[in-house]
Structure 1
Amino acid sequence: MNDIWDSDDDRAAEDSTGDGDERSAEDAAATSEGGRATDDERGYRVLAVPEDGGVRLLDRQTFEPVVTAETGHDAPVEDLRPGYLVDADLDWTTPEPTVRSLSVRRPTLYVFADDIDPVFDVAQETWASARAAGDSMNSRVTRNTDNEVNGVLYVFAEDPTNGTFEAFRDGTRPLEPLVDRVNEQEGSAAREVFVLRPEGREFVVVTIALRKGGQFADTLRETYDAARPSEPLE
């Protein structure tokens, strides 16, 4: 299997425009701990669309998760997908809000995969570098076989008490700052974001594929048996 995590920088996610500007891993970590979205966009990020239960959203202004009612919506919430950035009008006249209307602003997709195997060498190396430096996270760009930047890789220490993986999944530790950072460098576009926890559960990998539906994202989906969902609203 080819090493899809091939990269040349294990301390910072380098600006892929080639001007040499580097963004520190420590800064990204501090932001992801609960800082505000850098572009201060309004709207909601879709976190989960369960078959039973309400849709879980992240309010981009407050960074607080919102769980909607199970039924009573005037909009097709069942067609939402985790990762979508949406504009939504919520009716708060009931304890659990319903969705009056919605529109998809950017159809980014989130993928969460637990107990993954294999873990690619570059992810392990990036984590080993973090531990050797006494850091709880690290980051680097990823490149394809033509040495073109195709994504950004982050590794975070797993929290055995509260669960870093679970916090990313339920929105209590938002992925927004990491996605915003990529959009600042590359321009706003739909991405595919993969949150992966290896079997050993020592750390969590967050990889942002720059191109939705691109070869990098497709390879990740194939590797971790994560079929791309249908998208009726796209």
Structure 2
Amino acid sequence: MKKLILVLSLLVPSLAMAATGHSVHLDKANIDLTDKASLQSGAQTFMNYCLGCHQMQYQRYQRTFEDLGIPLVLGQENLQFTGEKVGDYITNNMAPKAAAKWFGATPPDLTLVARVRGVDWIYTYLRAFYKDPSRPWGVNNAVFKDVGMPHVLQELQGLPTKTYEKHMVDGEMVERYVGIKGDGTGRLNQEEYDKVVLDLVNFLAYMGEPSRLEAESIGRWVLVFIVILFVFVYLLKKEYWKEVH
């Protein structure tokens, strides 16, 4: 029963997201977990823009640096900002009660967010903020309506706005939503910003399953072993049963 409850607890968020996300087009996040440069860039973006609110309390700095090919000294100097030891978990100093008061809810831990939400959802979400003066932080999100999170990457992207085009329908002029357009105030152009987001999503995907590449490699060798073993087992079976047949 405990196992069943655990499985259901993991499935419910995903099912709820699927039930509410049919009307949202998700852009494809073509991540590559073998691209160390992309993973390093994503780690840098996360530590600089996300860690202030979102923790990764199930992953250690040292494991991250080693997997991503970042020298420990370099990682400590550039990616650790509050005096943690290299063997510590990736956490921040934000008090949960204060965070809940500021944002309406405590910002979630992001260690497994890529496995729960999916990389396409995160990639689209981080590129879907737009100006909305009615919201507490002045922004809303086309993927996550009335989100309580500020646009933390606004420095890079700028402050996009929703754009509409006028069309004649049955003799009447109507406006149709066509997407979100940047205002040019960010440090990056759209292509550069999309690359930064893709690298961040790649890093989050790695964090959700750090041993994935190793497991896939071992899995391939296991399949090869099973195929070879099957040949020998089949020949042995023929040898044992040849007199019976």
Structure of larger gyration radius: 2
Greater share of strand = 1
TM (norm. structure 1) is 0.24
